[in-house]
Amino acid sequence: MAGGKLQDRVAIITGGGSGIGKEIARLFGRHGAQVAILDVNAEGGASTAEEIVAEGGRAIFRECDVSRQDEVMEAFAAVSVSFGPVDVLVNNAGISHVGTVETTTEEDFDRIYAVNVKGVYNCLKAAVPSMKGRGGVILNLASVASMVGIPDRFAYGMSKGAVLTMTYSVATDYVDHGIRCNCISPGRVHTPFVDGFLARNYPGREAEMFEKLAKTQPIGRMGRPEEIAKLALFLCSDDAAFITGSNYPIDGGFVNLKI
């Protein structure tokens, strides 16, 4: 889209192969961004890039495990060669886990930490130096689990709490370098991730559990990926030039409405 909100800006989106990340990538492409998708899911990531190009946008895909710093650094370097240095980073890649501290194994904890915490750190480590002096925007995807206690989400809540505090830290450290850093904390959003989560953890009870989870939002339903994408576009555009160091719950009232 000529004259879009992100016209000609280089935007890296992790986990852009499906769900929220895919919708963010597609919306950014429609608003003129040069979109680079990083994902371990080669099929999904390539498909998202193809869809953006088919819609008249510019996009590339790079297979990348965000938990591996060498892969992240190589991916950012490749994007720079193709499009130029990154202007916008969306740290969206993440995985989930169900369990209390007693049922969470060391392997479970390490796996969540590697993707949800170290993965965000690795991408920040790659992006911030190239943004210093030029300015840039970073948007991290946390969760309502970073703000309130949710049953059986010990490791997941830990990881998203870290994402939230990394947001505050980067915003503070680099405000004088022209870098804005904000965070979105979604409630439950209906994505293929949710469907897979229900199938793995509640086999035979998927429909029942979907309805139960949907009703935990006071608004009465799960969010839609495109709703999260619209907030992401706003925060990464010049419309939000006065916003940094902020966390935005987008959760159908889950955190603040006591109904």
pTM of the model: 0.95
State the residue for tokens 């190589």: 74
Respond yes or no: is residue 121 known to be catalytic.
no
**Ramachandran class of 166: left when φ > 0, alpha when ψ lies in -120 to 50, beta otherwise:** alpha
The full set of domain ranges for the chain reads: 10-187+224-249, 192-222
Q: Which helix (H) or strand (E) holds 226?
A: helix 225-236
Quick one: which of 91, 94, 138 has its CA closest to 116? 94
In whole angstroms, give the CA distance from residue 35 to residue 241.
20
The yes or no reply on domain 10-187+224-249 and CATH 3.40.50.720 is yes
For 13, phi then psi, to 5°, come to -125, 115
How wide is the angle at C-alpha 38 spanned by C-alphas 113 and 250, nearest 5°? 65
Q: List per-residue pLDDT tens for the chain, 259 residues long.
A: 567 999 999 999 999 999 999 999 999 999 999 999 999 999 999 999 999 999 999 999 999 999 999 999 999 999 999 999 999 999 999 999 989 999 999 999 999 999 999 999 999 999 999 999 899 999 999 999 999 999 999 999 999 999 999 999 999 999 999 999 999 999 999 998 888 888 988 999 999 999 998 998 999 999 999 999 999 999 999 999 999 999 999 999 999 996 5
H/E element, 75: helix 69-82
Contacts of 107 (CB under 8 A, 6+ apart): none
**In this structure, is the dihedral angle defined by the CA atoms of residues 30, 80, 9 and 129, taken in order, positive or negative?**
positive
219 CB burial (10 A radius; 0-12, 13-18, 19+): middle
Rounded CA-CA distance 179/136 in Å is: 5
The residue annotated as part of the active site, out of 113, 121, 156, 168, is 156
